[in-house]
Amino acid sequence: MKTRVIIVRHGQSTYNQQKRIQGHCDESELTPAGEAQARQVGQALVGIPFDAVWASPFKRARKTAEIITAELKTAIPDLVAPTFSDNLKEISLPLWEGVPFTEAEAQHPEIFDQWRTDPANMVMAVPQPDGAIADFYPIRELYQQAARFWPELLAAYQGKTILIVAHSAINRALISTAIGLGPERFNNLNQANCNISVLNFADGWGSPVQVEAMNLTSHMGAPLPEMRRGHKGPRMLLVRHGETEWNRQGRFQGQIDVPLNDNGRAQGAKAAEFLKPVAIDAAYTSFMARPKETAEIILQHHPGLTLHSVNELQEISHGEWEGLYESEIESNYPGMLEQWQSAPETVQMPGGENLEQVWVRSIAAWKEIIAAHSGGDTVQTILVVAHDAVNKALLCHVLGMGPESFWRFKQGNGAVSVIDYPNGIDSAPVLVTANITIHLSGSVLDKTAAGAL
């Protein structure tokens, strides 16, 4: 029975505004803008049947949770007040708390560099009450804290829908530990103030987890999260094509060139309107009809751009499964469909591809695109429109995950994801936001056709 967990970061705080490091320091409070953001989150979440709200006890998260809960109670009158957990506290940074980022970097340049480039091994020498000095690994400790929280929550709310309100670093640790990432990937995820992330657990702790959406911010006005300070490399907009009739029917498409249906064209138009205010510098697509038409619809608001077709971005070849329904596959290939759904990296499609082949070709094409738009004088934003399996491969690649993690990410028809390369092709990528579909249905939840894959 699926357990849905929606994770929100607190609204803008006084220390956020002043660009100070917060950590365990509890002097920071929500600004008026932060309170407004919290109300916007509450309004965006109205209609989702929450069973409970959990939050960090720190003032900035506590107030955010209370504001959101008040908004939700208009639709869920019996929703109880938030439960507060120390396991949702922000990262402890004892040498820096309350200090401006610039001062922390000037005072401890080596530690600050570790924080940005080698988070798993970031270490602080911290004085102890007895006068001794002890090494403290803040991010390792944070991931242990997140791993302690999940079993407690999931055991208590199996099959329920839970809201968590916490902080940037602990939210990244929660998402990471849920999908099997360690502290070395801490900086590969982004968490903006009052963003919304959605995780689906198939069962309790240790069961498969799907990221339905991550770091959604468009409910607060701007379509996409801001780039981090000092960003120099390309921003990649990864879009899945709109719906086809075979998506709607639940038939396996693969490399059969099924076109968009009317709803798919409408989804393309909504994605185009969503991305209209975003300056796009170059555009690439799979050569197949459904992504190509989706890209062409989006580019109607960006005249003058050439749309480049890339063979390696075509959908996975399902071989003999193409055109079939799941029931037909189970009948003709007993047990293989369950194997595909539980251990996809082990499946060789009869007459088609395996996921390793999809990984190799799609990532090679992706890297070529990034390299072509790195190293210039200006930051470029690049549109790439492709397919469900290809997009999942690219999202996994960004986080260092292989084909065994194929089902970790949901990709709705017409969905938008964003990946930043802060210093171009040679820099570690940042998954800024994943599977935005709010422009399609008005909901933070993905309501596109499940399709078949």
Residue pLDDT, tens place only, 87-146: 999 999 999 999 999 999 999 999 999 999 999 999 999 888 887 888 999 999 999 999
245 has binding-site annotation: yes
Helices 388-398, 355-372: crossing angle, 10 deg rounding = 70
122-125: which pairs have CB atoms within 8 A and are 24 or more residues apart? 124/93, 124/94, 124/95
328 has binding-site annotation: no
On the 0-12 / 13-18 / 19+ scale of CB atoms within 10 A, 378 is exposed
Stated pTM of the model: 0.97
Those residues whose C-beta lies under 8 Å from the C-beta of residue 439, and which sit 6 or more positions away, are 218, 223, 270, 271, 273, 274, 414, 416
Token output for 24: 């365990």
251 has binding-site annotation: no
Positions marked active-site? 241, 315
Bridge-partner residues for 126, per DSSP? 134
244 has binding-site annotation: yes
246 has binding-site annotation: yes
In which residue ranges of the chain is pLDDT below 50? none
Residue 54's pLDDT is: 98
What is the three-state SS of 207-239? CCEEEEEEEECHHHCCCCCCCCCCCCCCEEEEE
Residue 171's pLDDT is: 98
CA 205, CA 7: separation in Å to the nearest integer?
16
CATH number, span 234-441: 3.40.50.1240
250 has binding-site annotation: no
140 has binding-site annotation: no
**H/E stretch holding 83:** strand 83-84
356 has binding-site annotation: no
Domain(s) of CATH 3.40.50.1240: residues in the chain? 3-220, 234-441
The top-level CATH class assigned to 3-220 is alpha beta
338 has binding-site annotation: no
Residue 175's pLDDT is: 98
CA 383, CA 232: separation in Å to the nearest integer?
17
Residue 231's pLDDT is: 83
CA 109, CA 112: separation in Å to the nearest integer?
5
Token output for 29: 């409070």
Residue 131's pLDDT is: 79
Q: Which one, of 333, 373, 377, 334, lies nearest residue 352 by Cα?
A: 333
